[in-house]
Amino acid sequence: MIDMPELPEVEHVGRTLRPAVLGRTVTAVDLRRPDIVTGSSTPADLLEGQRVVDLRRHGKQLALVADTGRCVVVHLGMSGRLLSLRPGVRHEAALSPPLDRHMHAIWRLDSGGHVVFADPRRFGGLWTFASDADLHTQRWGVLGPDALAIGPAALHDRLARTRRPLKAALLDQHLVAGLGNIYVDELLFACRLSPTTPTEAVNRATAARLVRHMRRILGKAIDAGGSTLRDFVGADGRVGGYQRAHRVYGQGGRRCPRAACRSALQTTIVAGRTTTFCPVCQACAAA
DNA sequence: CCTTAATCCTGGAAGC
DNA sequence: TGCTTCCAGGATTAAG
């Protein structure tokens, strides 16, 4: 069970990358697979010759922002990695197979370090923007608020504007940005909500409960990534820390972790996604 | 409005 | 054992 990059993994990548790139100038860009880039993909579009002044995250996406205003958004998809290699680490040898065959973009920094984007399945990619305004109008502005920033009132509002199963709504990045299949299942279990709860049944109190558990679960996952992946720089970054803490995701057929329950966890398809939940604990539509 | 299915892709696992 | 098949995932698009 390899960890999938959702908000906590992306946040952790950002935290690791930030000190390595902030204030550094990109001296060269090696774009090996131009088809992973959406938008113009000249060296300048990929920040060559520019100084990185900011690294931001929204949902599952990261943006490198240069002093020229240009931005490069990185989306890891499901198998993407964004690695920071210390000065002296040769990028040719930094990744173990099979990941080493899928290095699509390499930035060389004036520190002597490198930033490597690798993604075997290529569900991820890079997006280039001439300015912060373009990034916002064309890409981030159409997403919902970040899952760590959204408040109960905003979540309640946005859920009230749609009529879908709750799981489908929470997976929709335009409603709230950052949750994927893993954390939605974990969140619904923690809140004791059925994945098929109609969104209109989510009242203010339930929205507040969702927000509280969302922050707790994502925060714990970020901490786990931070503790177990602390030394991934220069390595392949494949060892995740949070999967041991999954209570329902990937646990179909096992028993409900709630001591008072212990029913068999059930796996179904909701919103086209594999969904694992406890039919007893998560039976109520909304309560 | 909503849903489902197909699409992109590779590696790992499961089946025979 | 060595094949084949299937499945996982996010986001987008088309079709119903």
Q: How far is the CA of A162 from the C1' of C6 (A)?
A: 34
Give me the sign of the Cα torsion angle A165, A171, A177, A181: positive
Residue A180 contacts strand C, CB under 7 A:
yes
User: pLDDT tens for residues A164-220?
Assistant: 999 999 999 999 999 999 899 999 999 999 999 999 999 999 999 999 999 999 998
Q: How far is the CA of A122 from the C1' of C15 (A)?
A: 26
Given 3-state DSSP classes, what are the helix, strand and coil percentages for chain A, each rounded to the nearest 5?
A: 30, 25, 45
Closest CA to A274 of A241, A249, A247, A254: A249
A94 membership: H or E segment, kind and range: helix A91-94
d(CA A148, CA A212) in angstroms, rounded, equals 10
β-partners of residue A87 are: none
Contact A179, A282 (CB under 8 A): no
* Mean pLDDT computed over A37-51: 96
Reported pTM? 0.91
d(CA A98, CA A107) in angstroms, rounded, equals 21
Residue A59 contacts strand C, CB under 7 A:
yes
The amino acid at A12: H
Instruction: Please classify residue A87 by burial: count the beta carbons closer than 10 Å to its beta carbon, then call 0-12 exposed, 13-18 middle and 19+ buried.
Output: exposed
> Which residues neighbour strand B (beta carbon < 7 Å)?
A 98, 101-102, 120-123, 162-165, 168, 271-272
The pLDDT score that the predictor gives to residue A125 is 94
User: pLDDT tens for residues A82-100?
Assistant: 989 989 888 777 777 777 8
